[in-house]
Every structure is written in structure tokens, then in C-alpha cells.
Amino acid sequence: MIPYGRQQIVQADIDAVVDVLRSDFLTQGPVVPQFESTVAQRVGSAYGFAVSSATAALHVACLALDLGEGDWLWTSPITFVASANCALYCGAKVDFVDIDPRTYNMSVEALEKKLEVAKKIGRLPKVVVPVHFAGQSCDMRGIRALAEVYGFKIIEDASHAIGGTYLGEPVGNCRYSDIVVFSFHPVKIITTAEGGMAMTNDPQLARRIGLLRSHGITRDRAVMTHEPDGPWYYQQVELGFNYRMTDIQAALGLSQMARLDEYVAARHSLANRYDKLLEDLAIVRPWQHPDAFSAYHLFTVRISNRPGNRSRRAVFEAMREAGVGVNVHYIPVHLQPYFSAMGFRSGDFPNAECYYSEALTLPLYPTLSTQQQDTVVSSLREVVKA
Ligand SMILES: *Cc1c(COP(=O)(O)O)cnc(C)c1O
């Protein structure tokens, strides 16, 4: 089966991991801070906090922004459930903003309309989480302008988007947001097996995120409520978690960072090749906004449900049958039973639902060979035309 995504592990990655395994520190050693500063420098943020997953990063990001009971977090329905769950972890409530039908990212017009209504009924969000779908940045200028008017905070879920740019600058520099989150799951752009990172430029948020990922304890006297009992002393100043990344994982991530540009370039060249090879088929190919240079995590096409066409389901099943690991990104989060129990219904976010009914993700990863890609294309071609 040709998978929809997969990691590349080279000898340098293995050597870097083995070096840590032979060293004094498997965790809380020197490699995590090296990985953090390498990523922060690369994306142009002041701080980076490596954590055990992007989900953990979203959780501590919400807590650092004081999201809690009675607050609302808004995100896109076309995302992985984690972008919404982070609100529920904090006791806050979740709502969604419909997508733009071309980019599949949160629609700024829909956001603005929803904010106008929310203001009237006193239900403005405290935090908005735009998700850079498939690695293409949202319209961050537009979202930031609305944040200035309505006073919400912004966490960019950039799980798909490390290595991408927006208006010529790296995604992750926090120019338009309070916090940016990356994922290093093996299907994403670079990997640490499990892992994530929260980027920020704000020293106060940085302090909170640093505490929250490690039990809420500090050795910084300036933060303590009283004089240390002795040189061994640490103090718990709030309720945190163990969301730390290990040095083993950080070594893998640091080694992978050396190939970030190569990976994104390989994804682009394969995406461009798909684009040409699929030109004549009656499917919708990904649209690229001129403001964004995508990291191209996903290559998602739409199979129209018009009568006479093969349905998305039929195409999905036939391609899987042919050994092509197509996938669907994503099931709209508001239609998950756990969320519909909160009152969401089908019809609430029509662009997201229409997109979902047609979406099909084709395999895309740096080591996908052109022969494998040709297999994907001929299989899709055969099935769509049949
Ligand atoms: C993968 C992903 C996450 C979760 O990442 P983990 O590192 O697996 O926790 C969150 N949001 C989006 C959009 C993702 O694709």
C-alpha cells in the first residue's frame, strides 16, 4: 500500500538518536533546548517550547492565554479534533467558523459575520484557532485585524505548516498571533515520532508555557512566593503537566530540521506534478493563494458528487483496493458525535460539509517516487472515468 504520508529516516537521524541514547541524559538534557532554538531561529520567533505533541502544545497554549470556564474558543470544522479538544480540556466551550471554499481554511468573512452576532449576544470568543489546512497559511492579516476590533487571542494551529511562508515570512514567527503550534507526528513535515512545539514572542506567555509543560514547578527565585528552603528547592506555582519532549525525540527533530527546506521543495515538486497530471480530470485540485507558500502537508482533491460521476466513496474504495492509501481530511469536527451532543447539527457549516462530502487526500511525502505517483494517478484516472 502506498501510504498517504510517511516519514523519511536517514542514517544521520539514527546516529543522532543513538548519540543521545549513549549520553548521560535521555530527557531534560541539552538537546531539547538546541532543538527549540533551532526551530525558533528558523521560523523567526523569540521562544519555542518542545512538548510531547501538538495536542499538548494546544492545551498549554490555551491555559497560558487563561482560557477557562465560561470562555469560548472558535476554530475551523475542517481540522483534526485536537484543535477543538484543547478548549474542552480547559473547561471552555467550542464553536466553529465555516471554511473558505477555495483554501479550505477558516473564512475571514464568516468569522467577521459570526463576531458581529456574538458581540450582540455577549458571546465573543476569548481565543480563535485558525488551522493552516494542508500547510497553506490562513489569511492571518484579516484574522488579526478582527482580533484588534473584537479583542480575542490567536493560536495558529500550524501542525501542517512548518516550512511554509505567509506574505514572504515564515509561518511560526507569531507576527499575527500570540502563539503558533507545530506537530512533529510522522505524517507531518518533520518528525520526532510524537512531539510538538509552541512558539511565541511574548515573554509572559513563554514563562507560563514553560511552567505548564513541566508540572508548574520553577527554580526561578523571582517567581517563588518565599525564600527557597535551600539550594535543592523548587516550588510549584501553578498546576502543570508532564508534557516534556525527551532528548531522544529532540535529537531526531534537530536532525530532521536540517532537511526542512529539502522536504518542502520535494512536496512542492510532487504537488506540481500531480497538478499537471490531473489537469484534464473532472476533479478539483488544491488552489494556492498568492499570499501563501504552502508546506504542502496534504494534496487533497475534490470528487464532485454530480449525478453520473463516481462518488468519492466509490473512488476511495477502488483506490484502496488498488493499493493506494488515499485518505479523507477531515471529518468536520462538529459532526463528531461527541460534538453534536453539544448541539451542533449537519447544515451548521455548509461549506465545510460540502467539502467533506467530496474530499480525497492523495499520497504525498518527500520519498514518494515518480513511479509511485504515476501509479496513484493512473489508478485515480481509471476509477474516476469508469
Ligand atoms: C496532527 C494535528 C494535530 C495534533 O498533532 P499531534 O502532534 O498528533 O498531537 C493538531 N491539529 C492538526 C491540524 C493536526 O493535523
| Residues with active-site annotation | 188
Our answer on whether the CB atom of 176 is closer than 6 Å to any ligand 1 atom is: no
Cα–Cα distance measured from residue 353 to residue 357, given in angstroms and rounded to the nearest whole number: 6
Any ligand 1 atom below 6 A from CB of 76: no
Q: How far is the CA of 183 from the centre of ligand 1 (A)?
A: 6
Mutate to test the pocket of ligand 1, among 62, 185, 294 (most ligand atoms within 8 A of CB): 185
Structure confidence at residue 130 (pLDDT): 99
What pLDDT is recorded for position 307? Answer: 79
Domains in the chain, start-ordered, CATH in brackets?
11-257 (3.40.640.10), 260-385 (3.90.1150.10)
- 337-357 confidence digits (pLDDT tens): 999 999 999 999 999 999 999
185: Cβ below 6 Å to ligand 1? Answer: yes
Which bin fits 216, alpha (ψ -120 to 50), beta or left (φ > 0)? left
45 pocket-lining for ligand 1 (C-beta < 6 Å) = no
Q: Which residues of the chain have pLDDT under 50?
A: none
Closest Cα to atom 6 of ligand 1:
54
| Ligand 1 center to 180 CA (angstroms) | 12
Q: How crowded is the C-beta side of 225, counted as CA atoms within 13 Å?
A: 5
Q: What is the pLDDT of residue 199?
A: 99
Q: Is 133 in the pocket of ligand 1 (CB under 6 A)?
A: no
CA atoms 136, 138, 139, 140: torsion sign: negative
The number of the ligand 1 atom at minimal distance from the alpha carbon of 53 is: 7
Sequence-distant (6+) residues with CB within 8 A of 196 are 50, 51, 52, 53, 54, 55, 56, 57, 159, 181, 182, 183, 184
Measured from the CA of 83, which atom of ligand 1 is nearest?
11
What beta strand segments (E) does 42-132 contain?
47-51, 72-75, 93-96, 127-129
Cα separation, 2 vs 191, whole angstroms: 19
Distance in Å, CA 159 to ligand 1 centroid? 5
Ligand 1 centroid – CA 135 distance (Å): 12
Contact between residue 38 and residue 254 where contact means Cβ atoms under 8 Å apart: yes
Residue 105: CB within 6 Å of ligand 1?
no
The conformation of residue 91, written as its DSSP 8-state character, comes to T
The predicted-structure confidence for 51-109, as pLDDT tens digits, reads as follows 999 999 999 999 999 999 999 999 999 999 999 999 999 999 999 999 999 999 999 99
pTM of the model: 0.98
**Cα 302 to Cα 107, 267, 327, 373, distances in angstroms:** 19, 19, 12, 18
**Which atom number of ligand 1 is nearest to the Cα of residue 329?**
15
Cα 182 to averaged position of ligand 1 atoms, centre (Å): 8
Cell of 184: 512533529
Mutate to test the pocket of ligand 1, among 159, 171, 189, 330 (most ligand atoms within 8 A of CB): 159
Is any ligand 1 atom within 6 A of the Cβ of residue 246? no
